[in-house]
Amino acid sequence: MSKPKPVEKMTYEEAFEELKAVVEQLESGELPLEESLALFERGQALSQHCSELLEKAQLKLKQLVPGPSGDLEETDFEIEDA
Amino acid sequence: MKTPSLFGAPRIWSVSELTRHIRQLLESDYRLQEIWVSGEASNVSLPASGHLYFSLQDATATLRCVMWRSQVALQTHLPKDGETFEVFGRIGVYEAGGQYQLYAEVLRPAGEGLRYQEFMERKARLETEGLFDAERKRPLPEWPRTIGVVTSPTGAALRDVLHVLQRRFPLVQVLLAPTAVQGPEAAGGVASALEALNQHGGSDVILVVRGGGSVEDLWTFNEEAVVRAVAASSIPVVTGIGHETDLILADFAADVRAPTPSAAAEVVTPDREALLHSLARLRADLLGLFQDQIGARQEALAVLQARLRQASPRAHIENARQRVDEFWRRAHAAIRHDLIVSRRTLDGLAHTLQAVGPAAVLSRGYAIVTQARDGAIVRSVSQVDPGDPLHVRVQDGSFGARVEDHEGSEDI
């Protein structure tokens, strides 16, 4: 297994998928104690990261408009509260 | 003018007879029983009864019309004076008023019929091209990162979509391709917006949304340019065009159709609440599994410890001690048992003894007679002579006695 990616850098999808894999591994039950412990801690970290992402995220808004040269540009967009 | 014939009385009709005849004539013409009529509405009146009264007219003629309350309730559009309408119904005669009139069942603004036809033709044509085929529909991405939105930048639809996204899955980026969504330029605008998002390529899914409105307002999404643009999009499209009963061609071409802009936003995102719940569950599973692992190990250890204890010398000693205790307990029990048996036997014998002892005999009335001089028990008459002093013992004491005479055994 390659060196695991640090949890804080993962997207929600990556973290969630790995969390599922960790649980499945622990379910198989064939691991030595130290590995179980390490997996459990990784699982906790992944789960924590996912929760944080969900709870703290803010929707990002951008607008696609034709630029001066005719290309498309992304610009920031503010929704007016009417 | 013809002079009335002088021969034979002319048939003179009553008003009722004539009216009935006219009515029968009209009612026997099948074309007048199901007929569409077009004209300009006038004298429109909707009194408290709920029935609709109006006239349809053109340059040279007027037709009186009536629609009953139950049918009025089913119409989406009621005519106003001056509007051109198409009305479907049957021609009848209102005898009391001497009036022929159109009993209306359905009415619609003129030109709507034409538009509906156009719609059905276009739908059939695009369908034949395969633009609405089920096989063309693509699955939506499970974890969208960027959601493209085609809608008006000032409309309620965009606000609704943003609210839903913020609530459900704020991890996404929204990329708005702004356009008018009604009016003559809207069709081109929506098509261009879709093309622009496809060209940019960064979106995982596109929402085409618009709030509710009249058939007119929503007609943009029936235009061919829009339908083709939706079908041609290489990024999956979800339509959320707020309407209730009308058919919208863009919906058929979309990968998924949602009934409103909010619903469209819901369809493309996982629900944050649900995600938090499954996270909580996974966390609980994780903990449970880990505790199981520890528990299993603890159990295995306990078993071995138990076996160890069993195998130790101390165990042997304990065992032996227990056996000795057991032995003594049984021994005591046996001895106690024997004692009980002995006592019982003893009691039995004592009882028997009692029964055959002298006291018992005496109580039955026998006496023990002894010689007064030497205490010898007198058993036989030969032992005594008259005048000999005797000692008599009975059960409760004794007394002296003297022999008087005796009878020999040979006399008895």
pTM: 0.56
Query: What are the pLDDT digits (tens) for A12-36?
Result: 888 888 888 888 888 777 778 888 8
Task: ipTM value, please give it.
Answer: 0.71
Mark yes or no for CB contact B283/A44 under 8 Å: yes
Chain A nearest-CA distance from B198, in A, is: 11
Q: Which has more confidence, B89 or B299?
A: B89
Q: What is the pLDDT averaged over residues B80-106?
A: 93
Taking the Cβ of residue B106 and every Cβ of chain A, the question of whether any pair is shorter than 8 Å is answered with no
Chain A nearest-CA distance from B208, in A, is: 15
Best residue in A31, A54, A72 to probe B by mutation, most B CBs within 10 Å? A54
Query: What are the pLDDT digits (tens) for B5-46?
Result: 667 778 899 999 999 999 999 999 999 999 999 999 999 999
Q: Which has more confidence, B317 or B167?
A: B167
Percent of the residues in chain B that have a pLDDT greater than 70, as a whole number:
96
Q: What's the confidence (pLDDT) of residue B1?
A: 60
Taking the Cβ of residue B174 and every Cβ of chain A, the question of whether any pair is shorter than 8 Å is answered with yes
Instruction: Give the C-alpha distances (Å, rounded to integers) separating B345 from A35, B235, B253, B339, B341.
Output: 79, 111, 113, 10, 6
Mark yes or no for CB contact A64/B297 under 8 Å: no
Query: What are the pLDDT digits (tens) for B280-325?
Result: 888 888 888 888 878 888 888 888 888 877 777 777 788 888 888 8
Taking the Cβ of residue B275 and every Cβ of chain A, the question of whether any pair is shorter than 8 Å is answered with yes
Query: Hey, what are B38's tokens?
Result: 């077009």
Q: What is the pLDDT averaged over residues B276-283?
A: 86
What DSSP designation does B1 have? Answer: -
Q: What is the pLDDT averaged over residues A51-67?
A: 83
Q: What's the confidence (pLDDT) of residue B412?
A: 43
DSSP string computed for B248-281: -HHHHHSSEEESSHHHHHHHHS--HHHHHHHHHH
Chain B nearest-CA distance from A14, in A, is: 10
**Residues B397, B395: Cα–Cα separation, whole Å:** 6
Q: Is B55 left (phi over 0), alpha (psi -120 to 50) or beta?
A: beta
Mark yes or no for CB contact A72/B290 under 8 Å: no
**E-only strand ranges, B7-98:** 35-45, 52-57, 62-67, 84-94
Q: Which residues of A touch B177 (CB under 8 A)?
A: 63-64
Of residues B170, B177, B287, nearest to A58 (C-beta): B170
Query: What are the pLDDT digits (tens) for B220-269?
Result: 999 999 999 999 999 999 999 987 666 799 999 999 999 999 999 999 99
Q: Which residues of A touch B174 (CB under 8 A)?
A: 59-62
Query: Hey, what are B276's tokens?
Result: 């938090």
Mark yes or no for CB contact B162/A19 under 8 Å: no
User: In this structure, are residues B221 and B239 in contact, taking their beta carbons and an 8 Å threshold?
Assistant: yes
